[in-house]
Chains A and B, each alone.
Chain A
């Protein structure tokens, strides 16, 4: 899409508009899907009876999905954090969440955890292992913040909570993200983003 005339040279925007909008779109779709996830969480917690509160850890990885997906498609620093925060803004400001704006802090921590492994590979490696570590860190880092916010410290099931949440992060927030990214790439809708350009080059 070459512009017929040169764009104003005063300021080169760091982010292409398409990348920004893609992050918002991911945030909106996942914000919408997270709402469905909350219903699943409610259902699961009823099914699990007295252990129902652990249901949130079982499904936790689902809330991490958007960050690794955004990073793998856009391949820019802070894409994961931004996408996760935007998704939380959609959840809090437009859909309404009982957790309130402190959810955005959690989202930023989650995004940072998920993005860290990709940043360490300088946004060059997108294999299963990197995704798995992203899910692990995304779930692991935010756990200590959530534990403070929700008063899990001092509970007898603290270690169990951490283990279940990390496992969920690896599977739902890491490996599943890779499945989604690959499926998206196959449809061709992300060909015009960094992920498509990268593939053309190699």
Chain B
């Protein structure tokens, strides 16, 4: 999930300017949106896979694991299009019918998913979050206030899994109390008045145990085993998400005060550890653009290239 946390520093791709990499990722994604034949995006994907494997310094296993969501997503897209597109049927069973056009468009979309996916993985594996924001500030003229707000948010994101489990445990403790640990004053909405921290979950400023008067021990789940699993179910989940939101909003307010009190927003600014755009970055950009253009041109010359028209008209049939 947090690819950036593990960003390597030694690989060739990791030494390139983050803004340049992000721009290239955006450009290729945009171009890929207009490719609707199966061959062109597949070729681009294979080229991209090779490039990422060699330049991002990722272990083959990491790359393979990262592929799982894209493969599942791509498979879903392929199946839906195969079944839901009018055209020449190649297979039929009851109400289900697979069309040639559906297979073609579906395969194109699935290959696009893989292409963008593998490039995104390459970007995430080779880019440090802080370096990215510094580079966006310096090279892409992103405002200092936004840059540092996002950086603070990034830090918050890194802490979020821990925060999440803290809240879940806090809720689990309270789940053993009568009334689910809510304030037993008949208000119905214990989050409102009694504690202003959502569900009093911070732990540091609301540590009163067993507010409702009973010891905060959950009824044992099975004979004698103390039940330590947090409760599950959508209701519990909603409570945890909402508490996370409340705690984070409060934290954000404190963060904003801290940022302002340290003089953020004053001009002129200097940058610590500046990230220049070097000749090698331009070479990378030129290389990527040339390769993509060459693949598309070759595909057009061979007659395999298809644009968005493939969505509306039947695929060209081979003559004869």
B284 at the interface (CB under 8 A from A): no
A187 touches B84 (CB 8 A): no
Measured CB to CB, the nearest residue on chain B to A191 is B196
Chain A, residue nearest B74 (CB)? A98
Contact across chains for A98 and B251 when beta carbons are under 8 A apart: no
Given A28-B153, A151-B105, also A101-B84 (CB < 8 A):
no
The interface residues of chain A, by DSSP majority, are classed as: helix
6 closest Cβ pairs, A-B complex = A25-B252, A100-B116, A24-B153, A53-B80, A21-B256, A101-B26
A127 contacts the other chain (Cβ, under 8 Å)? Answer: no
B256 / chain A contacts, CB cutoff of 8 Å: 16-18, 20-22
Q: How large is the interface on A (under 10, 10 to 19, 20 to 34, 35 or more residues)?
A: 35 or more
- Identify A96's interface contact among B36, B124, B157, B253, CB under 8 A: B124
Residue pair A99, B84 in contact (C-beta under 8 Å): no
Within the assembled complex, what's the spacing in Å between the Cα atoms of A27 and B260? 20
Interface magnitude class on chain B: 35 or more
Residue of A nearest to B154 (CB): A94
Inter-subunit contact B72/A183 (CB<8 Å): no
* A154 engages B85 (CB within 8 Å): yes
Kindly identify, within residues 117 to 166 of chain B, every residue whose CB is under 8 Å from any CB belonging to chain A: 117, 119-121, 124, 129, 132, 145-146, 149-150, 152-154, 156-157, 160, 164
Q: Let me know if A200 is at the binding interface, CB within 8 A.
A: no
Nearest CB in chain A to that of B121: its residue? A96
In the complex, which of the residues B22, B246, B248, B265 contacts A101, with contact meaning CB atoms closer than 8 Å? B22
- Name A184's contact: one of B76, B116, B245 (CB within 8 Å): B245
Question: How close is A105's CB to chain B, nearest CB, in angstroms?
Answer: 8
State whether A21 touches B196 (Cβ < 8 A).
Answer: no
Q: Which of B25, B266, B311 contacts A154 (CB 8 A)?
A: B311
What's the Cα separation between A9 and B23 when bound, in Å?
A: 36
A100 adjacent to B242 (CB under 8 Å) = no
Excluding A94-B157, A102-B26, A148-B308, 7 further A-B contacts by CB distance (< 8 Å) are A13-B145, A21-B255, A32-B244, A89-B150, A101-B22, A154-B85, A189-B198
B147 to chain A, nearest CB (A): 10
With contacts A17-B265, A151-B105 known, is A86 near B76, CB below 8 A? no
Q: Is the CB of B150 within 8 A of A24?
A: yes
How many angstroms from the CA of A149 to the CA of B73 in the assembled complex?
14
* Bound CA span A49–B197, Å: 41
Chain A 135-148 near chain B by CB (<8 Å), digits 1 or 0: 00000000000001
Is the Cβ of A28 less than 8 Å from the Cβ of B312?
no
Q: Footprint of B on A, CB under 8 Å?
A: 1, 8, 10-11, 13, 15-18, 20-29, 31-33, 35-36, 42, 45, 50, 52-53, 86, 89-90, 92-102, 148-151, 153-157, 180, 183-184, 186-190, 192
Contact present for A28 and B157 (CB under 8 Å): yes
Residue B70 is within 8 A (CB to CB) of chain A in the complex: yes
Is the CB of B270 closer than 8 A to any CB of chain A?
A: no
Query: Contacting A33 at CB < 8 Å: which of B113, B145, B241?
Result: B241
Residues of B at under 8 Å CB distance from A? 1-4, 22, 25-26, 29-30, 33, 36, 66, 69-70, 72-73, 76-77, 79-81, 83-86, 96, 105, 108-109, 113, 116-117, 119-121, 124, 129, 132, 145-146, 149-150, 152-154, 156-157, 160, 164, 189, 191-192, 196-198, 237, 241-242, 244-246, 248-253, 255-257, 259-260, 264-267, 308, 311-312
Q: Indicate if the CB atoms of A102 and B146 lie closer than 8 Å.
A: no
Contact of B69 among A1, A45, A98 (CB under 8 A): A98
Among B3, B77, B150, B242, contact of A86 (Cβ-Cβ < 8 Å) = B150
Q: Which of B77, B124, B156, B164 is within 8 Å of A25, CB to CB?
A: B156
Indicate if the CB atoms of A151 and B81 lie closer than 8 Å.
yes
10 contacts between A and B (CB under 8 A): A20-B149, A24-B252, A25-B249, A53-B77, A94-B4, A98-B69, A100-B26, A102-B30, A102-B33, A155-B84
Specify which of B86, B197, B249 is in contact with A22 (CB 8 Å cutoff): B249
**CB atoms of A50 and B312 under 8 A apart:** no
Query: Inside 8 A of B150's CB, which chain A residues have their CB?
Result: 24, 86, 89
Contacts of B253 in A (CB 8 A): 18, 21-22, 189, 192
Q: For A36, A89, A101, which residue has the most chain B Cβ atoms within 10 angstroms?
A: A101
Contact indicator B248/A29 (Cβ below 8 Å): yes
Distance in angstroms from B34 CB to nearest chain A CB is 9
